[in-house]
Structure 1
Amino acid sequence: MRLASFLLPSAAATPEQFRQGYAGANPNFYQRALFENGAVLRQLDDLGFDFAAFSEHHFHLEGLEMSNNPILLGAWAAGLTTRLRIAQMATVLPARNPVLVAEDLAMLDHFSGGRMIAGFARGYQSRHVTTVGQKNGAVATYATDPQYAEHDAQNRELFEEAYQVVRGLWENREFSFHGTHWQVPPRGITWDHPGTREMAPATVGADGTVQKIGIAPNTLQDPSTIELVVPFTLSPNTIRWAAREGGWPIIFSPIEETVKMCLDAYHEEAKLRDPAIGWGRNVGHFREVVVADTDEEAFAIGRDALGFIWPTWHDHFGFNEALRRPGEEGPVPNDYRAMVDRGFSITGSVDTVARNLEKAVEAFGIELLVLWMGIGPAPLDKMLRSNELLVEQVLPKIGIKLDRFEPTLRPEFDTAKWTAAV
């Protein structure tokens, strides 16, 4: 099984300090967050985690999601680690310029020595998506939106077209694309440069206009092998799209009936691409795991970590729908007890976590587990110990050994990789 971590990051503040307001504007809290997340990243690298991922959200004066550039955070993380791969969960494509996304991720791939994972999402926070993506006509998509159907379709169209641009730039030395929203390159750009005619002749036409572009540097990895993660989804359409692209959807819900519906949808579509793929393969699962000496201590740690972040912030966007049981009506309880009782947060002693994690692994055939870590409001020392107990005691107890994905570099690459001094 592969193990990964999702780090927002949040401001390194206590719940009481968050409630005082504007934690995101306090430079002390962000510097402390860098220190704490850096310590976690180094530990994950040593413990054998496969990758760490950052989200993209903007304007978080509230301080709960200070993650406006997951690619830049990834470049920072790459310099702290040697084997841990670097992902985004995720770059919000409808609000971004896909040409710049392709370039930035290619640079991250080189900075990290081929450890980049591509993570793309559609965007559910309207404050961010509509402001940053205003030139694209971008809108957010979230479960409680009164105009969900209209906005979801508009968002999906932008997402899928932007993704085609990113992939096309990675897979081709010279590339052009003419879609509904993006012209790459726009027609009629005059570029009759003798240097281009000599050194990149396929990009310019006989009339001296730009016909194609290419990004430089391109990815260090062979683009056909770059892993794609698609968080955090319950949408059958998104799951099927991920299956067609060979991507890894990261399933949000812990509810057995919901998870199996998602796995069925992925498997049905994925078989068209790979008839031999097994049920439950190529799918990641999203959870929180907190391990301590006792069940009571683990619950208390989690309650002040993700148990503060989720009920305070994410319920507003419909996250609790991921916890809804079949046939359940009315609001889902918005508290940490519900997160634990319904299986999203697996907390407890080594024995308790081993027992509950083993059930989930057996039920769903989990081969990738992504852990949401509430670094920020959580006590750093207790979170580091939780990770240590998970890897060194819980996983061996249930017979799980950690795997790591080995990237494949471009076939023409034949020199030494650059590495940062760690």
Structure 2
Amino acid sequence: MKTLIMCATNVAASPEERRARRPIARDTDAYQGMLRSYGDIAGWADELGFDGLGSTEHHFQTEGGETIPNALLFYAKLAAQTERIMFVPLSIILPAQNPIRVAEDLALFSHMYPGRIGVGFARGYQTRWMQTLAQDDAVTSMQPDSDARNREIFDEYLSIVERAWDEDSFQHNGKHFQIPYPAEGIRNWALADWTRAYGSPDEVDAEGTVHKIGVLPKPLHRPTIFIPNTYSRQTAIDAARHGRTLLSLAGVEHLGPLTEQYQDIARENGRDLPRGEGVGIVRKIVLGDTFDEAFDLAVRTAGYWYQNFFQAFGINEAFRIPSDAPDRRLNLGDARALTRRMHETGALLCGTPDQVRDDLEKTVQAGGGRLDWLVWEFWAQALYGDDAPEIQRGQLKAYAEQIMPAFR
């Protein structure tokens, strides 16, 4: 099992400082500090032998939440400063992007840094930036009036990215995107003779009309595609059907059925896989000399952000248990109670290295004894204060030396 660190790119500040320096994400000193911290984490992770590093794509978070709008651009700098670690945007939000540009950018990175790029693709749930960038008020997921259309766009755009990588030239006449545009062809192409002689076959017909497009460059290697999933059964089915790696937030009790389903659907589509192959888990992990020490750190980091930020988007529904009231959104009232629930449901692995290693082993066994990836939702980087770098590096070092070797 490989380990990928997913860092939220939060500007580190106390609530009081965040209020006094509002909007703190446009404070250039604060933003520079966030970039330096992330760069330090990338260097430590590379030295300690972690397999990958990722971050989310979000826009317009002036409040100081996730603040990197273009992960690939930043990764190009970090890749030059590190030796071996793979970089994985988690995730590129396809419905708000041009899929051809996405395919081009990732393919170019694969040539710049061979073997060091993967990619997560997600559907997007934040209306503020999804609607603004897409110029569409019905494009987000998790909204009753737009979820189906969001999935429709996502599926079409992802198929375009994959075809752009795999085919020398292609034509696509979809509901939301056409290649070329218009799909019936681009007439009177000025370089028709040149393209017929040197381009891909069938790009241009005898009358000079462009009928297919070839996307450049072809990837040096095809990036692994990761599909994060909270609770959508259809997302899990689609990942298995198309050979994409599913990253699940599912609790221990759901992992067995999930890996069995992935294996069955893969088999139906011509891929006979061992159970657990093609599946990864997403977990918050916090380490300490005692359980209480680790739990208190989890409350200050993941608990704080999930209670005060993700709560508003319904993300905490992933931590629901049968006894919760089914007729209203889950809200446990405070960060400590929410952190306790995350630990109870297995979303948070917390305690001494020995305790976390044992809990992680139980999780892997619940998935059938094998999982391809662990994505560590690393919240220690959200700490503020002079001791934050020491805590961040200490968390990574303890995991790398005392837990990671057991799952290689």
TM-score, structure 1 as length reference: 0.86
Q: Specify which of 358, 361, 367 is matched with residue 358 of structure 1.
A: 361
Contact 1:130 1:140 in 2 (8 A): yes
Q: Specify which of 162, 174, 184 is matched with residue 167 of structure 1.
A: 162
Q: Which runs of 5+ in 1 are unaligned?
A: 402-422
Give the aligned partner of residue 11 of structure 1: 11
Structure 2: distance between partners of 1:197 and 1:277: 42
Structure 2: distance between partners of 1:264 and 1:376: 36
Q: Specify which of 273, 294, 299 is matched with residue 295 of structure 2.
A: 299
Give the aligned partner of residue 232 of structure 2: 235
Q: CA deviation at 1:35?
A: 0.8
More moved, 355-364 vs 233-242: 355-364
Q: CA deviation at 1:400?
A: 2.5
Give the aligned partner of residue 63 of structure 2: 62
Render the CA deviation track for 1:276-324: whole Å, top value 9, x for unaligned. 3233321110011121222232223222222222211111111111111
Paired residue secondary structure (1:304): helix
Contact 1:252 1:322 in 2 (8 A): yes
The one-letter code matched in structure 2 to 1:151 is S
Paired residue secondary structure (1:79): helix
Q: CA deviation at 1:32?
A: 0.8
More moved, 4-13 vs 69-78: 69-78
Paired residue secondary structure (1:305): helix
Contact 1:324 1:332 in 2 (8 A): no
Q: How many residues align?
A: 389
Give the aligned partner of residue 36 of structure 1: 37
Q: CA deviation at 1:230?
A: 0.3
Structure 1: distance between partners of 2:65 and 2:322: 30
Q: CA deviation at 1:101?
A: 0.7
Contact 1:15 1:308 in 2 (8 A): no
TM-score, structure 2 as length reference: 0.89
Give the aligned partner of residue 199 of structure 2: 200
- Identity, in percent, stands at 33
2:279 matches 1:283: yes
Q: CA deviation at 1:356?
A: 2.1
Give the aligned partner of residue 245 of structure 2: 248
Would the alpha carbon gap of residues 230 and 67 (structure 1) be closer, same or farther in structure 2, given more than 3 Å must change?
same
Structure 2: distance between partners of 1:326 and 1:220: 48
Contact 1:70 1:90 in 2 (8 A): no
More moved, 311-320 vs 13-22: 13-22
Give the aligned partner of residue 391 of structure 2: 382
Q: Which runs of 5+ in 2 are unaligned?
A: none
The one-letter code matched in structure 1 to 2:395 is S
Q: CA deviation at 1:65?
A: 0.9
Give the aligned partner of residue 153 of structure 2: 158
Contact 2:120 2:228 in 1 (8 A): yes
Superposition map of 1:10-409 within 5 A: 10-20=10-20, 21-134=22-135, 139-142=139-142, 145=143, 147=144, 150-186=145-181, 187-193=185-191, 194-200=193-199, 202=201, 203-221=203-221, 223=222, 226-254=223-251, 256-274=252-270, 276-329=272-325, 331-333=330-332, 335=335, 336-364=339-367, 365=369, 366-374=371-379, 375-377=381-383, 379-396=388-405, 399-401=406-408
Would the alpha carbon gap of residues 258 and 332 (structure 1) be closer, same or farther in structure 2, given more than 3 Å must change?
farther
Q: CA deviation at 1:81?
A: 2.0
Structure 2: distance between partners of 1:157 and 1:43: 40
Contact 2:168 2:200 in 1 (8 A): no
Paired residue secondary structure (2:84): coil
Q: CA deviation at 1:88?
A: 1.6
Paired residue secondary structure (1:290): strand
Would the alpha carbon gap of residues 307 and 278 (structure 1) be closer, same or farther in structure 2, given more than 3 Å must change?
same
